[in-house]
């Protein structure tokens, strides 16, 4: 997964965790909702100033958007699968995420 895609996925996750729409976040950081959408999809990259605004508005450290702390391995298939799962989880609402967590616990316990 590219850095832009990782950033976008993490941005989406943190935005949804705060129960914000793209329009609401865009207004808070003085961007268009179209730009927020492009960043979340990994097709546009924010400026450093925008990263700082996003961090402040979402109340997360800047590094939270860059995938710091994610498990990365040299096994490319494993890395791709983990990235795919992370992206899927970041798109879930709270109820879906709770169900996914229960399913995952049932699989590994």
The average pLDDT across 57-84 equals: 70
pTM above threshold 0.75? no
Closest CA to 87 of 7, 2, 35, 9: 9
Is the pLDDT at 101 greater than 50? The verdict is yes
The average pLDDT across 5-31 equals: 94
Residue 70: predicted pLDDT: 47
Residue 72: predicted pLDDT: 40
Q: How far is CA 62 from CA 18, 47, 101, in A?
A: 16, 12, 26
Close Cβ partners of 75 (under 8 Å, ≥ 6 residues apart): none
Is the pLDDT at 73 greater than 50? The verdict is no
CA separation for the pair 18, 57 (Å, rounded) = 10
Give me the domains of the chain, ranges plus CATH numbers.
3-108 (1.10.260.40)
CA separation for the pair 64, 47 (Å, rounded) = 16
CA separation for the pair 66, 5 (Å, rounded) = 9
**Structure confidence by residue, pLDDT tens digits, 20-42:** 999 999 999 999 999 999 999 99
State percent of the chain over pLDDT 90.
52
């Amino acid at each position: 997964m590219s850095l832009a895609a990782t950033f976008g996925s993490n941005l989406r996750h943190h935005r949804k965790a705060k129960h914000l729409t793209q329009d609401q976040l865009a207004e808070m950081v003085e961007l268009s909702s179209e730009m927020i959408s492009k960043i979340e999809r990994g097709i546009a990259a924010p400026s450093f100033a925008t990263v700082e605004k996003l961090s402040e508005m979402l109340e997360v450290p800047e590094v939270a958007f860059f995938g710091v702390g994610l498990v990365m391995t040299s096994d490319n298939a494993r890395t791709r699968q983990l990235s795919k799962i992370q992206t899927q989880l970041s798109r879930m609402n709270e109820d879906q995420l709770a169900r996914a967590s229960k399913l995952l616990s049932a699989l590994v316990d």
